[in-house]
Structure 1
Amino acid sequence: MTTSNILQYESKIWATADLLRGCGIKESEWPSYMMPFFALVMIESRLLRMLDEYKAEIGEEEWAEIDKEDQIELIRDKGQGYNTYIFEKNQTLKDICKNDKSFNIDFEAYLHGFDSETKDLLGVDATDGEKFLDIKGVITKLNAKKVLLGYTKEWSGIDLKPFNNSDITTLEEHIKRRWADISAETAGEQYTPDDVIGLIAEIIASKIEESDRLLKIYDCTCGGGNLLFGVEDRINEKFNRFTQTYGQDWNDALY
């Protein structure tokens, strides 16, 4: 997949705001409603892609012969995130949206099925004083307007699994630039050009060596994570190493 391919999703993602407009949510508030769900589909796609890559590495037949509990332990040991619905029940956000009668219960369980770091990132249990990706608060507001299921369905139809982390964060960069036009809160953000990311990623990858140790990658001013994931993708292209990314941004939230 190429960057041009993934940018075709920009209009589809932006179209989710039509439902927000329809229920009277102000344009200036759209980013706060869209960002948590965009993060959600990005995270899910990354977990699904990680699982497919792991199966390919081990072999589909060999993977199928591994006990379910051992599969779960192997996935957890990778340290790249977890969700009980995805890995234990083989259900995605799109699957959950198919049953409108049990949706609210299933969606809440799905969100609480993430690992603790991901739940903190999304704001699954955010308190009133927390502002970073408050998906809990957004869900409450959408429920009150009776559009939560419809809104979640719109996002669940956006399949980012075929794209790598760098491609996805390039898409995020384009979306956030549009958010910046309507929100003073994001107007001051800066974006790293793709060619600069490529150069930095190549320089860093040239300093890495093969090893069976977990490689941790940290960016103290990661913004949308485009540089952070660009470096990770380049390292993964050159080496067979487990990697874990950390970034600091938006109200000093760590993810």
Structure 2
Amino acid sequence: MSEDQKRQLESQLWGIANLLRGKISADDYRDYILGFIFYKYLSEKQHLYANSLLETESVNDYTDLRDPDLIEAIREESLEKLGYFLLPGELFDTIAARGNAATESESNYILEDLKAILNHIEQSTMGTESEDDFTALFEDLDLNSTKIGRTVAARNTVIAQILGYLAKIDFRLDDIESDVLGDAYEYLIGKFAAGAGKSAGEFYTPQQVSKILAKLVTTGKSRLKSVYDPTCGSGSLLLRVAKEAEVTEFYGQELNRTTYNLARMNMILHDVHYRDFSIRQEDTLEHPQHTELRFEAIVANPPFSAHWRGDANPLFESDERFARYGRLAPKTKADFAFLQHMLFQLSDSGIMASVFPHGVLFRGAAEGAIREYLIRDMNAIDAVIGLPANIFYGTSIPTCILVLKKCREQDDSVVFIDASGDNHFIKVGNQNELRDEDVQLIVDTYRKRESIEKYSYVATLAEIAENDYNLNIPRYVDTFEAEEEINLEQVAEELRSLDSELKSSEVSLIGFCKQLGIPSPF
């Protein structure tokens, strides 16, 4: 599929969202549109797979199949291959056509049938390997919600319209070389995030920041056994890593239930097999879900300075993720707790890159002690990268990326990069945005470990120790621009010239006043 066709699909999907503006609130229509795109995807995937199994049968189209034995055989194969099952009468196009039939009648009412179909998709996986990946996946699609209509008829009309709009779009799932639908889904998630205010941080990392993190953790690698995100949101960071290297297994954890569902949908829409990903819903710091595993790459955008129960729970003091540091991250700033958790889960050959607020670089007390231990005792910090302010939706604070390794090749220095300068980003609407060349400069500078005037500096551990393990970037990267020297003699000459011109003007004005017969102001 060409770039033009890809943009057309993105435009069509976003157009559906715009049609619903004013009818449903932004947060709500996000859930319905993304949910129904996913239902359409599952239906088309089921339809194509079933048809491939029916190639040698007398009935070649799954929608026409009525033989119960063949349907049962397809069910068994589908659960093994796809991880779920849909009956012929449960396919998206069938229910969408009923809801948008030209003649209005009782047959246009589809809400109850649609609810049963979505429940059946989840129930079809019970007792199978894919059960965890589909359980309660459609719970945010509340077809009885008054948010989409005060009456049953009004709700039915809105839902039928959404399905009707989507039915006209070709997802091109038979194009096995294309990940266009997955990319379009990511595009929609980003568009919704742009208008979601502060809540956007719960589920979306800007694409260019995702690209930086993915390129950093795949440095020197074309294949990864595993990638992990402990605060995975919509899963976009995990999937971005797969664009930079071949990834075998994806792992993530997410606290917000709605966002957790979105992440699982996103994985499946990008054709990640249910056996190849494990996304769990829980508080990562309180109840980590993959502690027995060590990951080759870790990427994250944790909630900035979140509250946690570190000080209130004495068990954390003996928790092997935190115990060796001697101090716990403060209860009002969990940034270092997330960092410690990730470093604990990192394999010896792995790389982790995560976004944090700038405070992690210089705040004192417990955070200062943890930072010193990371540098002096563990020598784990590989790079500190300053990003422009106002590049994340919902917050304008400046942020940084920390890159950590357990076994560093260049173990006597840390690369500092200041990518926050005005010439290293552009302004798009109310947001600042990194360009492709800005991203590449960051990545190249990290990989080459270069000192570039007013942009980067490779600091020795001794220099960092001299700075009391303070990692504030201006201590290492001098971005000071000297003001142009002022030629005082030239300024004096200009003032003398101005004075002469003023006197000449005064003489002229006095003359004009005399001619007009009015008093002179001088």
TM superposition score normalised by structure 1 = 0.63
2:11 aligned with 1:11: yes
SS of the residue corresponding to residue 248 of structure 1 reads strand
C-alpha distance in 1, partners of 2:120/2:56? 27
C-alpha distance in 2, partners of 1:94/1:150? 13
C-alpha distance in 1, partners of 2:84/2:70? 18
1:171 to partner: Cα distance: 1.5
C-alpha distance in 1, partners of 2:117/2:167? 13
1:120 to partner: Cα distance: 1.2
Calculate the aligned-residue CA RMSD, in Å: 4.3
2:275 aligned with 1:244: yes
1:41 aligns to what?
A: 40
Distance 1:40 1:177, change over 3 A: same
2:127 aligned with 1:113: no
Distance 1:119 1:33, change over 3 A: same
1:46 to partner: Cα distance: 4.0
Distance 1:81 1:93, change over 3 A: same
1:61 aligns to what?
A: 56
2:191 aligned with 1:178: yes
Q: Which runs of 5+ in 2 are unaligned?
A: 61-68, 100-106, 124-132, 249-272, 284-288, 290-522
1:75-224 to structure 2, matched below 5 A, reads 75-78=78-81, 80-85=82-87, 89=88, 91-100=90-99, 101=107, 102-116=109-123, 117-123=133-139, 134-136=140-142, 141-144=147-150, 145-146=154-155, 147-160=158-171, 161-162=173-174, 166-184=179-197, 185-187=199-201, 189-190=204-205, 191=207, 192-193=210-211, 196=214, 202-204=222-224, 222-224=232-234
Distance 1:187 1:122, change over 3 A: same
Which has the larger share of strand?
A: 2
1:239 aligns to what?
A: none
Which has the larger share of helix?
A: 1
C-alpha distance in 1, partners of 2:231/2:45? 21
Distance 1:196 1:46, change over 3 A: farther
C-alpha distance in 2, partners of 1:46/1:223? 25
Aligned residues: 218
Q: Is the contact made by 1:217 and 1:244 (CA closer than 8 Å) also made in structure 2?
A: no
1:39 to partner: Cα distance: 3.0
Q: Is the contact made by 1:97 and 1:149 (CA closer than 8 Å) also made in structure 2?
A: yes
Distance 1:115 1:2, change over 3 A: farther
Distance 1:181 1:219, change over 3 A: closer
Q: What CA deviation, in whole Å up to 9, does each residue of 1:65-103 have, x standing for no partner?
A: 98432222122223x332333xxx255212112223242
1:50 to partner: Cα distance: 4.5
TM superposition score normalised by structure 2 = 0.34
C-alpha distance in 1, partners of 2:179/2:232? 13
Q: What CA deviation, in whole Å up to 9, does each residue of 1:139-191 have, x standing for no partner?
A: 65325344221122223333322455843322222212211111021246224
1:114 to partner: Cα distance: 0.2
Distance 1:106 1:8, change over 3 A: same
C-alpha distance in 2, partners of 1:29/1:67? 39
1:113 to partner: Cα distance: 2.0
C-alpha distance in 1, partners of 2:58/2:234? 34
Structure having greater relative contact order (Cα 8 Å, sep ≥ 6)? 1
SS of the residue corresponding to residue 277 of structure 2 reads strand
1:138 to partner: Cα distance: 7.3
Q: Is the contact made by 1:217 and 1:246 (CA closer than 8 Å) also made in structure 2?
A: no
Q: Is the contact made by 2:222 and 2:246 (CA closer than 8 Å) also made in structure 1?
A: yes
Distance 1:217 1:96, change over 3 A: farther
Q: Is the contact made by 1:36 and 1:135 (CA closer than 8 Å) also made in structure 2?
A: yes
SS of the residue corresponding to residue 170 of structure 2 reads coil
Whose Rg is larger? 2
C-alpha distance in 1, partners of 2:134/2:146? 19
Distance 1:223 1:187, change over 3 A: closer
Q: Is the contact made by 2:39 and 2:92 (CA closer than 8 Å) also made in structure 1?
A: no
